[in-house]
Amino acid sequence: MYDVAKIRDDFPILSRKVNGKPLVYLDNGASAQKPRVVIDAMNKAYEEEYANVHRGLHFLSTIATEKYEAVRGIVARFLGAPDPEEIVFTTGTTEGINLVSYGWAAPRLQAGDEIVLSLLEHHANIVPWHFLRERQGVVLKWVEPEADGALDPGKVIDAIGPKSKLVAVTHMSNVTGTLVDVAAICRGARAKGVPVLVDGSQGSVHRPVSIAEIGCDFYAITGHKLYGPSGSGAIWISKDRMREMRPFMGGGDMIREVHRDSVTYADPPMKFEAGTPGIVQQIGMGVALEYLMALGMENVAGHEAALRDYARQRLRGLNWLNLQGDAPGKGAIFSFTLDGPAHAHDISTVLDQRGIAVRAGTHCAMPLLAHYGLTATCRASFGLYNTEAEVDALISGLELCHELFA
């Protein structure tokens, strides 16, 4: 039984007031709040078990290393990935995708080679490929979403031509909530011999993920959206692709031997993790993922699907509100504009006065906003602790905006 009131008690920040009103936190797409178990585990790590990892033979370094390394196994379990050695720690999805761009794509792609992208992508899954366009003449090939925001896997597969070397696609849009059938894309891409990178920054948060079922080559996640700390994250990379990769950043921890004239590297995944990592952050992410697995991602998905349906029905009832992309089966993420002069920032400010946190702007997805002919939207993004009463609070806040600005 999914007891949302009990779950809310796990998140200390949810009981605070903002502008004199109970906090209604609907900015989970940007970053989620943290349960007490994560905060406590991080405090404990700093207060009792902190030292650098992999370096010392002393007591504290050994405990810190064990706790930190155990997170690889937790991430693998969370992602349904067979082997913890295929998990590379990062600071988030942005770093994971840059690692693939610098470490796998840059040495392999030549001028005229193509990367197939969808227009739903976040800048984190666009700009690292623009680097290759600017520096190496790589061509970006864009696939547009349907009118309702859905992405047709057939169109992505059709876009893969003889010059295509990579497909880079999101699992879930952070703007429209569109859930992408990445397994179908991977099947089609595999048949054409082209690897697939999946941006799992949103997709991993709202439903169970199985790398084995998706069949991709790279899957990147972000700890702070998964109810863990900022500065934590990971990317799953298949063994085959790891073998093809050169290191991205150089420094301590990623080497085997360093001489005046030569260097050899540690085995993956350490080969791709230079310098002192976010030790306590990754430990915190591990606790957050354990928390999610204890709740059950199926249960989280069920709760959020009910919230999505309720929010969709209430938002569609506002005939002066325009939803951008509202595909069936999407996540509980809604982007919208209001008829009339109200800018997304105005709406967000009025809502904030009522304690309601939403995001306003381009959501790091300028090509998608341009496709819709917009420069900004408001976004309400729900998480595992949100309630129907919070949907109602959003709706009455929007009704006030309509009265103020119409």
Lookup result for tokens 């879930």: 172
Q: Is 94 in the site for ligand PLP (CB under 6 A)?
A: yes
Select from 46-54, 92-100, 271-279, 332-340 the region that touches ligand PLP (CB under 6 A): 92-100
Which of residues 93, 164, 348, 381 is near ligand PLP by CB under 6 A?
93
Contact criterion met (CB below 8 Å) for 337 and 378? yes
- The reply to whether 122 sits near ligand PLP by the rule CB under 6 A is yes
Catalytic-labelled residue, pool 186, 216, 364, 378: 364
**What HEC string does the chain produce?**
CCCHHHHHHCCHHHHCEECCEECEECECCCCCCCCHHHHHHHHHHHHHCCCCCCCCCCHHHHHHHHHHHHHHHHHHHHHCCCCHHHEEEECCHHHHHHHHHHHHHCCCCCCCCEEEEECCCCHHHCHHHHHHHHHHCCEEEEECCCCCCCCCHHHHHHHCCCCEEEEEEECECCCCCCECCHHHHHHHHHHCCCCEEEECCCHHHHCCCCHHHHCCCEEEEEHHHHCCCCCCEEEEECHHHHHHCCCCCCCCCCEEEECCCCEEECCCCHHHCCCCCCHHHHHHHHHHHHHHHHHCHHHHHHHHHHHHHHHHHHHHCCCCEEECCCCCCCCCEEEEEECCCCCHHHHHHHHHHCCEECEEECCCCHHHHHHCCCCCEEEEECCCCCCHHHHHHHHHHHHHHHHHHC
Q: Is 364 a catalytic residue?
A: yes
Contact call for residue 124 and ligand PLP (CB under 6 A): yes
The reply on whether position 284 binds ligand PLP by CB under 6 A is: no
By CB under 6 A, residue 332 contacts ligand PLP? no
Any contact of residue 201 with ligand PLP (CB under 6 A)? yes
Q: Name which of residues 159 to 188 contact ligand PLP (CB under 6 A).
A: 170, 174
Residue 202 sits in the site that holds ligand PLP (CB under 6 A): yes
Q: Which is nearer to ligand PLP, 202 or 386 (CB)?
A: 202
Determine if 304 is a binding residue for ligand PLP (CB under 6 A). Answer: no
Report the residue number, 65 or 348, with the smaller CB distance to ligand PLP.
348
| CB of 149 vs ligand PLP, minimal distance in Å | 14
Minimal distance, residue 255 CB to ligand PLP, in Å:
26
Give min distance, CB of 380 to ligand PLP, in A.
14
| Shortest CB 43 distance to ligand PLP, Å | 23
Q: Is 337 in the site for ligand PLP (CB under 6 A)?
A: no
Shortest gap between Cβ of 404 and ligand PLP (angstroms)? 29
Q: Which one among 181, 199, 326, 390 touches ligand PLP, defined by CB under 6 A?
A: 199
Q: Which is nearer to ligand PLP, 92 or 268 (CB)?
A: 92
**Please, what is the minimum distance in Å from the beta carbon of residue 177 to ligand PLP?**
11
Catalytic positions:
364
Chain residues in the site for ligand PLP (CB under 6 A): 92-94, 122, 124-125, 170, 174, 199, 201-202, 222, 224, 364
